[in-house]
């Protein structure tokens, strides 16, 4: 796209390209544009891929059914904004399309987690407040029969000064019926937010898989993203033997190709079965690897901090996390309504109810002093679904032999 060039929407309204907002990502490019009154918007130009026709139809459905106004009204009182398509462009010169949406402010959750000293200085009550807004945003979509389809760090932004949550990359949302009928099945998720049944069995996104992704989001956010999944404990680390999977899909590949013992999926904080616990992993580091360098020693400190953070999670929230992750294939995971109730109960406690605004001002000053290069709105990691693995959910082959395609594991966390 050339700066100063015009794009025309289906309703004939024209917008002028002002500047690029970031580089090309997984699904398109993002541009700052202006209408004839100099009002500024974001323009997302989509890449043309095999899902292009489906995505075009889904964007038209979102616009024609006025989904933006419906969810905006529902989210207003809780300071939740959805960056949904407002207008679709006519076909562009390269035979693709794009759409106009409102601009989002603040930083992505991804950048908040990576700016030094920010996530560690966010008090528990502020984290819970942000998480409640994330939960409510997902609940709003579910309440109108839609799924978000890719709950992950990069798809939420937060403005600490206005205490406002922005839900971005909303062209992936689709009605549950369209996803089920394969009319709008665009993405399978990101990293370890992907539900096991999606990666292992080829299941499409639905409310229950979204509940898994949401629980992972809550779990990792409360633990400052110090571990990659609820199952990254002693067993998985031992069986990786120097390799580092990047997503639930990679674990499915490892199971298909090499096998994993069945206790790899025991929740790392399972009080009744410590076989895969973080504490056991720490002990293993001390016994076998603590002499391998500073990175391992730093990792031990992170894992100790992870345990400390788990210990201060309010019991109402901790119980729902345990319920979610104690059964890898939980057919009925805690819902958005249950999460909202639990977080509200936690926030109502005397030891949680402190001045959030004062803490937010401190955090905001730290964020404003950092320059972070984050492709906030457009990067989505997707992988095709796999066939069910042999013995799914029951017995896994043992003694895997890692192959070279996985990155070397140095003891740190990964997404």
pLDDT at residue 134 tops 70: yes
pLDDT at position 50 is 81
pTM for the predicted model, two decimal places: 0.85
pLDDT at residue 337 tops 50: yes
Question: Average of pLDDT values for 325-333?
Answer: 92
pLDDT at residue 407 tops 70: no
pLDDT at position 292 is 66
Verify that 283 and 139 share a domain, yes or no: yes
Q: Which residue has the higher pLDDT, 287 or 8?
A: 8
Mean pLDDT is lowest, of 36-40, 287-291, 390-394, for 390-394
Verify that 75 and 145 share a domain, yes or no: no
Give the model confidence (pLDDT) of 30-41 as tens digits.
Answer: 999 999 999 999
Verify that 218 and 267 share a domain, yes or no: yes
Verify that 95 and 204 share a domain, yes or no: no
Q: Taking Cα atoms as reference points, which of 133, 146, 180 lies closest to residue 356? A: 133
pLDDT at position 395 is 30
Verify that 169 and 315 share a domain, yes or no: yes
pLDDT at position 356 is 43
pLDDT at position 317 is 98
pLDDT at position 368 is 54
pLDDT at position 117 is 81
pLDDT at position 285 is 85
Query: Distance between CA atoms of 212 and 330, rounded to whole angstroms?
Result: 9
Query: Which backbone phi and psi does 411 adopt, to 5 degrees?
Result: 105, -10
Number of domains into which the chain is organized: 2
pLDDT at residue 180 tops 60: yes
Mean pLDDT rounded to a whole number for the chain: 84
CATH number of domain containing 336: 1.10.510.10
Mean pLDDT is lowest, of 165-174, 306-315, 379-388, for 379-388
Containing structural domain, residue 329: 105-408
Mean pLDDT is lowest, of 31-40, 194-203, 353-362, 392-401, for 392-401
Verify that 94 and 154 share a domain, yes or no: no
Mean pLDDT is lowest, of 13-27, 87-101, 122-136, 141-155, for 13-27
Q: Place 24 in a pLDDT band, splitting at 50, 70 and 90.
A: very low
Verify that 70 and 5 share a domain, yes or no: yes
Verify that 93 and 118 share a domain, yes or no: no
pLDDT at position 102 is 96
pLDDT at residue 360 tops 70: no
């Amino acid at each position: 796209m050339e700066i100063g060039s015009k794009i025309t929407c289906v309703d004939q309204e024209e917008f002028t390209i002002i500047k690029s907002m970031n580089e090309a990502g997984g699904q398109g490019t993002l541009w700052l544009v202006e209408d004839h009154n100099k009002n500024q918007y974001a323009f997302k130009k989509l890449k043309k891929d095999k899902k292009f026709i489906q995505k075009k139809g889904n964007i038209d459905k979102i616009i024609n059914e006025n989904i933006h106004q419906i969810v905006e009204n529902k989210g207003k009182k809780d300071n939740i904004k959805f960056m949904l398509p407002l207008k679709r462009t006519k076909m562009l010169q390269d035979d693709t399309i794009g759409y106009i949406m409102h601009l989002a402010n603040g930083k992505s959750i991804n950048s908040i987690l990576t700016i030094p000293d920010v996530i560690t200085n966010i008090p528990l009550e502020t984290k819970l407040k942000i998480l409640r807004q994330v939960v409510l945003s997902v609940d709003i979509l579910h309440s109108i029969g839609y799924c978000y389809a890719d709950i992950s760090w990069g798809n939420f932004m937060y403005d600490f000064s206005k205490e406002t949550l922005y839900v971005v990359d909303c062209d992936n949302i689709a009605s549950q019926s369209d996803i089920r009928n394969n009319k709008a099945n665009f993405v399978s998720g990101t990293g370890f937010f992907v539900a096991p049944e999606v990666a292992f069995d080829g299941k499409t996104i639905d409310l229950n898989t979204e509940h898994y992704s949401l629980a992972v989001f809550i779990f990792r956010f409360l633990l400052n993203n110090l571990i990659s999944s609820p199952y990254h404990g002693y067993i998985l680390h031992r069986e990786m033997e120097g390799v580092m999977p990047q997503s639930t899909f990679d674990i499915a590949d490892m199971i298909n190709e090499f096998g994993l013992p069945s206790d790899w999926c025991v929740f790392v904080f399972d009080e009744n079965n410590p076989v895969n616990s973080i504490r056991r992993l720490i002990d293993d580091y001390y016994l076998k690897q603590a002499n391998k360098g500073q990175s391992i020693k730093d990792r031990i400190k992170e894992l100790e901090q992870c345990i400390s953070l788990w210990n201060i999670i309010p019991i109402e929230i901790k119980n729902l996390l345990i319920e979610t992750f104690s059964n890898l294939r939980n057919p009925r995971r805690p819902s958005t309504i249950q999460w909202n109730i639990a977080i509200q109960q936690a926030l109502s406690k005397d030891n949680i109810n402190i001045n959030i605004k004062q803490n937010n001002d401190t955090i905001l000053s730290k964020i404003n002093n950092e320059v972070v290069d984050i492709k906030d709105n457009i990067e989505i990691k997707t992988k095709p679904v796999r066939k069910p693995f042999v013995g799914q959910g029951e017995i896994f082959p043992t003694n895997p032999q890692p192959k070279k395609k996985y990155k070397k594991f140095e003891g740190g966390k990964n997404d």
